[in-house]
């Protein structure tokens, strides 16, 4: 959660230039989401199902933002710059 808040802060401030490495943000959130939803089903804990659903929304948001920035970066050539 802290990483998501920091990322949102830097994105709003414009101090976080796009790089293809942005995709690295999606993996840990995806793994956490899958694990949370799996534990919710195995342990049958409704609170974990809600947490998993919230994590999925965060993951979907990350995917949309990163996909949009990647497509824009490919179009402008920014995706290939260091």
Res 11 pLDDT > 70: yes
Q: Sorting pLDDT into bands at 50, 70 and 90, what band is 1?
A: low
Do the Cβ atoms of 66 and 25 come closer than 8 Å?
A: yes
pLDDT, tens digit, for every residue of 14-68?
A: 777 888 888 998 999 999 999 999 999 999 999 999 999 999 999 999 999 999 9
Q: Sorting pLDDT into bands at 50, 70 and 90, what band is 4?
A: confident
CA distance 74 to 66: 12
Q: What is the pLDDT of residue 80?
A: 82
CA distance 20 to 59: 17
């Amino acid at each position: 959660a802290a990483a998501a808040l920091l990322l949102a802060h830097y994105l709003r401030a414009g101090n976080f230039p796009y790089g293809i490495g942005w995709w690295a943000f999606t993996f840990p959130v995806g793994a956490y989401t899958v694990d949370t939803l799996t534990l919710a089903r195995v342990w049958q804990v409704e609170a974990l199902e809600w947490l998993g659903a919230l994590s999925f929304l965060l993951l979907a948001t990350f995917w949309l933002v990163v996909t949009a920035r990647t497509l824009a970066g490919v179009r402008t050539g920014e995706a290939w710059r260091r």
